[in-house]
Structure 1
Amino acid sequence: MDTFINTRLMSREQVWDKNGWVAQFNIPDNLEDRGVGWTEQDVSSWEPPARHIQLGYYEEVKAVFNSSVQDLTDEDLSESRVILPVETPRLVADALGQVTWDAIAHGGQIAYLRGLFVGNGWHR
């Protein structure tokens, strides 16, 4: 979400870089190295940060996202432009819809995996 809202949509520095989160997450200081393409060995050797660090980053990105989206006007949402990773122009509103869909889909994937490993979730 940080990359999408800050770098791609608003053309500004990510919270990740601006506020030093990369050092706290123990991964290479490289904008494009966010775990995509990591091998099984890369993942198993990575030491994730403490829970409070993960939640701190989440809360900061959430606050930036919420304020950024609230500031968008109807004119902003109707603007057609290239918003990576899609290389063809699209409406800002459509790109935000894709982000919403991605969050829902990935949340479902995580819930499914939790069910496989731990059992049913919150409703029991």
Structure 2
Amino acid sequence: MKSADLLADALDRVKEAVHEAVRGLGPKQLSARLDEEANSVAWLIWHLTRVQDDHLADLAGTEQVWTADGWAAKFDLPFPLDETGYGHSAAQVADVQVASRALLTGYYDAVHRQTLRFLRTVTAEDLDQVVDESWNPPVTLGVRLISVVTEDLQHAGQAAFIHGILQRRAH
């Protein structure tokens, strides 16, 4: 199995986790927070998708799906277009309200497709290419892609945990 295929498989698993984390939740549940400082399922899925979109567009040298495909307008959030949610305050987390889970999964799926298109172009040699010299040691393409996978899985897991709590509270 090639490295890019391995990364694609990992990101397919993220996609499954994202869809499972929002399955059966309505707008109110998606925006629910376990306390005033907690993240919501909607914010977690939006954030992980924005980070993936931002990072992969940078790596591929393309426009983010967020703006290129009109997702920013569909979400209509009170943030600058380049906002990814990194460092958001509790009030900003609360601002992420969505009309449906289809909005979240639609955006995620569009970013996922763009990511897989990029991965089909990646060779094993490309993975050692330095893409960010602002860190010590500098970040390679492979390390950046693994970073996206791990952050996505972490946030999808957090969303799944909240989903479970919300279901338990409903019963």
Q: TM-score, normalised by structure 2?
A: 0.57
State the alpha-carbon separation in 2 of the partners of residues 44 and 80 from structure 1: 36
Q: Does 1:51 align with 2:101?
A: yes
1:73 aligns with 2:123: yes
- Report the TM-score when normalising by structure 1: 0.75
1-side partners of 2:81 and 2:61: how far apart? Answer: 14
**How large is the Cα RMSD of the aligned pairs?**
2.4
Tell me, yes or no, if the aligned pair for 2:78 and 2:95 is still in contact at 8 Å: no
Q: Which has the higher contact order (CA 8 A, sep 6+)?
A: 2
Higher helix fraction (1 or 2): 2
Distance change in 2, residues 1:30/1:80 (3 Å): same
Tell me the residue number matched to 2:53. Answer: 2
Which consecutive unaligned segments of at least 5 residues does structure 2 have?
1-51
Residue 68 of structure 1 deviates from its aligned partner by 0.6
Give aligned-pair identity as a percent: 28
Q: Is the 8 A contact 1:76 1:92 kept in 2?
A: yes
Structure 1: stretches of 5+ with no match in the other structure: 120-124
Please name the residue that 1:30 is paired with.
Answer: 80
Moved more, 60-69 or 88-97: 88-97
Alignment: residue pair count: 116
Match of 2:161 among 112, 117, 121: 112
**Is the CA contact (8 Å cut-off) linking 2:65 and 2:111 kept in structure 1?**
yes
2:150 matches 1:101: yes
User: Distance in 2 between the 1:92 and 1:60 partners?
Assistant: 21
How far apart, CA to CA, are the structure 1 residues paired with 2:80 and 2:71?
A: 12
2:61 matched residue in structure 1: 11
Separation in structure 2 between the aligned mates of residue 100 and residue 45 of structure 1, nearest angstrom = 25
Structure 1 residues 81, 39: closer, same or farther in 2, change over 3 A? closer
Q: Distance in 1 between matches of 2:55 and 2:99?
A: 23
Equivalent position SS for 2:154? helix
CA distance in 2: counterparts of 1:82 and 1:98, whole angstroms: 13
The one-letter code sitting in structure 2 at the alignment partner of 1:75 is E
1:36, distance to aligned residue in structure 2 (A): 4.2
* Cα drift, residue 37 of structure 1: 4.7
Q: CA deviation at 1:74?
A: 1.3
> Does the aligned pair in 1 maintain the 2:72–2:81 contact within 8 Å?
no
Inter-partner Cα distance in structure 1 for 2:90 and 2:121: 41
Q: Post-superposition shift, 1:47? A: 3.7
In structure 2, what is the equivalent of residue 122 of structure 1? none
Task: Note closer, same or farther for the CA distance 1:43–1:96 as it changes in structure 2 (3 Å cut).
Answer: closer
